[in-house]
């Protein structure tokens, strides 16, 4: 088939594409946010740097786009090439059999008006993170999401919860299954980065403090546990500015890595040095960093919005669950439980997570599932 992938630039999409390297499909990627090319050896044609001005920049455009976006959207086709214009141009040029969009708000909403005119083109949507779970609560988003899902032919999710949500939001198509967000992990490479459990002394914290992320609550819990953490080094990665400020203001001797400071390989290496990993948010799908902790045998303590984390974590068998991400006392209690475990306990948890990894998260296993999913489409 001729497949057009539509997404933002992302390591997760890149790893998905690499799963198709040995397939016979012809792969194109539309950089919908116009951010620039992937650096990859994967076989695909990249459609980037497509946004062109029709007239010179007019003073006040940016202000208008941010303050009165509905008016800006109305006049935008007069000013520059729009997503809709470019998509229609691509369709006419390459005649894709399948369009596969990753993420809803930025990468699927803009496609609906064009794809409504081309009902014979099969449309796959991969649901990411909070696409459905969070935005379903807003009237305007719910209306847009229903419109998109009613046109979608095939659905891929990163958790079972979102398949059920999609069905409640007018999805009537074929569910292709639950796939890890990044398309599986190269275990040969990953396992080379794993340290023996007895050598690990890092508590690793995901440093997101955003609309969804709540890492400062984790840091506050760790501050209260300071006297019991003398054997551990605290490291925060992917840290937003608020988190960096919190660490500096409180004179905390934590290792800290800013957003985008580490490559994916460096994150995996850090996971492989960590005994405990903590991720905390109020909304998400199946967190990719949780899966990475499981692959690298860092014992996960993870929030559970919408009961997704319990799809892979069985409490006190291979991790711990934070039920209320805003409750510092609960987070502190869960960390305390983990601190009571010894190396034999952590080895036991690691063995469980290794079995999960090799059964569900290996790129060899996931690669075959991805190939089978596209084959299923081509045969229908």
Q: What is the pLDDT of residues 319-343, one digit of tens each?
A: 999 999 999 999 999 999 999 999 9
User: What confidence category does residue 170 fall into, taking pLDDT thresholds of 50, 70 and 90?
Assistant: very high
pLDDT tens for 54-96 read: 988 888 888 888 888 878 888 888 889 999 999 999 999 999 9
Distance CA 108, CA 126 (A): 10
Q: What's the mean pLDDT in 100-104? A: 97
- Same domain, yes or no: 108 and 46: yes
Mean pLDDT of 159-178: 97
Is the domain of 178 the same as that of 227?
no
Please report how the helices 343-356 and 288-295 are oriented relative to each other, as an axis angle in degrees rounded to 10. 110
Residue 379 has pLDDT above 80, yes or no: no
Same domain? 85 vs 170:
yes
Give the pLDDT score at 359.
97
The percent of residues above 70 in pLDDT, for the chain, comes to: 100
Same domain, 207 and 88: no
Q: Summarize the confidence of residues 126-143 as an average pLDDT.
A: 95
Local confidence band at 193 (pLDDT 50, 70, 90 cut-offs): very high
Q: For 49-56, what is the mean pLDDT?
A: 92
81 and 27 belong to one structural domain: yes
- pLDDT (tens digit per residue) in 228-285: 998 999 999 999 999 999 999 999 999 999 999 999 999 999 999 999 999 999 999 9
Residue 182, pLDDT > 90, answer: no
Beta bridge partners of 277: 204, 300
Same domain, 223 and 272: yes
Least confident span in 37-51, 160-174, 204-218: 37-51
CATH number at residue 8: 3.40.50.2000
Residue 38 pLDDT more than 90?
Answer: no
347 and 206 within one domain: yes
Q: Residue 324: give the domain boundaries.
A: 187-361
Work out the percent of the chain whose per-residue pLDDT is above 90.
85
Q: What's the mean pLDDT when you consider all of the chain?
A: 95
Q: Return the pLDDT at 334.
A: 98
Q: Average pLDDT in the 281-300 region?
A: 97
Considering the domain architecture, whether residues 246 and 200 belong to the same structural domain is answered as yes
Q: Are residues 175 and 264 in the same domain?
A: no
Domains held by the chain: number: 2
Q: Does 380 score more than 70 pLDDT?
A: no
> Could you tell me if 331 and 229 lie in one domain?
yes
Which stretch of 1-10, 49-58, 134-143, 197-206 has the lowest confidence by average pLDDT?
Answer: 49-58
Determine the average pLDDT of the residues in 146-154: 98
Do 205 and 310 lie in one domain? The reply is yes
- Adjacency order of strands within the sheet including 174-178: 45-47, 26-31, 2-7, 98-102, 122-126, 154-157, 174-178
Higher-pLDDT residue of 183, 239 = 239
Is residue 129 domain-shared with residue 198, that is, in the same domain? no
């Amino acid at each position: 088939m001729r497949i057009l992938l539509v997404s933002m630039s992302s390591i997760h999409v890149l790893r998905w594409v690499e799963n198709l390297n040995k397939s016979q499909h012809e792969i194109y990627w539309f950089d919908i946010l116009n951010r620039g090319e992937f650096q990859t050896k994967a076989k695909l044609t990249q459609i980037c740097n497509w946004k062109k001005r029709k007239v010179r920049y007019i003073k006040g455009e940016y202000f208008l786009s941010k303050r009165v976006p509905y008016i800006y959207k109305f006049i935008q086709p007069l000013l520059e090439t729009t997503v809709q214009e470019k998509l229609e141009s691509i369709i006419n040029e390459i005649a894709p059999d399948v369009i596969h969009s990753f993420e809803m708000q930025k990468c699927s909403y803009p496609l609906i008006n064009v794809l409504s005119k081309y009902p014979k083109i099969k449309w796959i949507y991969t649901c990411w993170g909070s696409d459905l779970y969070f935005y379903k609560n807003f009237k305007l988003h719910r209306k847009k999401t229903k419109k998109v899902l009613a046109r979608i032919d095939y659905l891929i999710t990163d958790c079972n919860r979102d398949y059920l949500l999609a069905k409640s939001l007018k999805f009537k198509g074929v569910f292709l299954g639950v796939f890890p967000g990044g398309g599986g992990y190269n275990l040969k490479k990953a396992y080379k980065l794993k340290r023996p459990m007895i050598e690990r002394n890092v508590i690793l914290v995901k440093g997101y403090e955003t609309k969804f992320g709540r890492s400062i609550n984790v840091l506050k819990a760790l501050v209260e546990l300071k006297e019991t953490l003398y054997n551990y080094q605290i490291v925060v990665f992917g840290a937003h500015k608020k988190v960096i400020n919190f660490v500096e203001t409180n004179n905390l001797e934590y290792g800290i890595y800013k957003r985008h400071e580490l490559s994916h390989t460096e994150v995996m290496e850090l996971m492989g040095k960590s005994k405990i990993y903590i991720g905390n948010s109020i909304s998400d799908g199946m967190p990719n960093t949780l899966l990475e902790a499981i692959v690298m045998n860092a014992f996960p303590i993870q929030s559970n919005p919408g009961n997704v984390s319990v799809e892979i974590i069985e409490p006190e068998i291979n991790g711990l669950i934070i039920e209320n991400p805003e409750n510092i006392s609960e987070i502190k209690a869960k960390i305390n439980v983990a601190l009571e475990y010894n190396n034999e306990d952590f080895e036991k948890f690691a063995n469980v997570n290794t079995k999960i990894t090799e059964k569900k998260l290996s790129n060899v296993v996931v690669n075959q599932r991805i190939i089978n999913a596209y084959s299923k489409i081509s045969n229908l």
